[in-house]
Amino acid sequence: ADPKEIKFMVTEFHKRRDLVVGLLKNIPGIKINNPDGAFYVFPDVSSFFGKTLKGTLIKNADDFSMYLLAQANVATVTGDAFGNPNCIRFSYATSEDLLTEALRRIKEALAE
């Protein structure tokens, strides 16, 4: 692969990561750390466990992921499959516009 293209993609993924992390930090109840690599984040959503959002009881990360799919039309994966049941996995391997829209929908779906 062309080293210039690799450097460009690394830069682009860092920009996307920073965008996603910044937007997630603005959503009350979501705990996020800054990942070093890859193209996904694992926000801790356990503060929503035991709460009812728009008539849906959130018991765990599975419920939370299904809620986001139903209410925000955003697909995430539960952290159970990756050894962290308090988290969801959110990929940022898409455009900044789509990421911004997805996080706007998530924030709206989680608003009290």
What is the mean pLDDT, run by run of 10 residues, along the chain of 112 residues? Answer: 89 94 97 87 97 97 98 95 94 96 98 82
pLDDT at 87: 97
pLDDT at 36: 80
Question: Which ranges of 41-95 would DSSP assign to H, the alpha helix?
Answer: 61-72
List residues bridging with 106 in a β-sheet.
Answer: none
Q: What is the DSSP letter of 32?
A: -
Rounded CA-CA distance 3/19 in Å is 24
pLDDT at 35: 85
Helix (H), strand (E) at residue 23: helix 3-25
The one-letter code for the residue type at 82 is: F
What class is the 3-110 domain?
Answer: alpha beta
Rounded CA-CA distance 105/71 in Å is 8
pLDDT at 37: 75
Rounded CA-CA distance 62/88 in Å is 8
Of 100, 99, 67, 64, the C-alpha closest to 79 is: 64
pLDDT at 34: 85
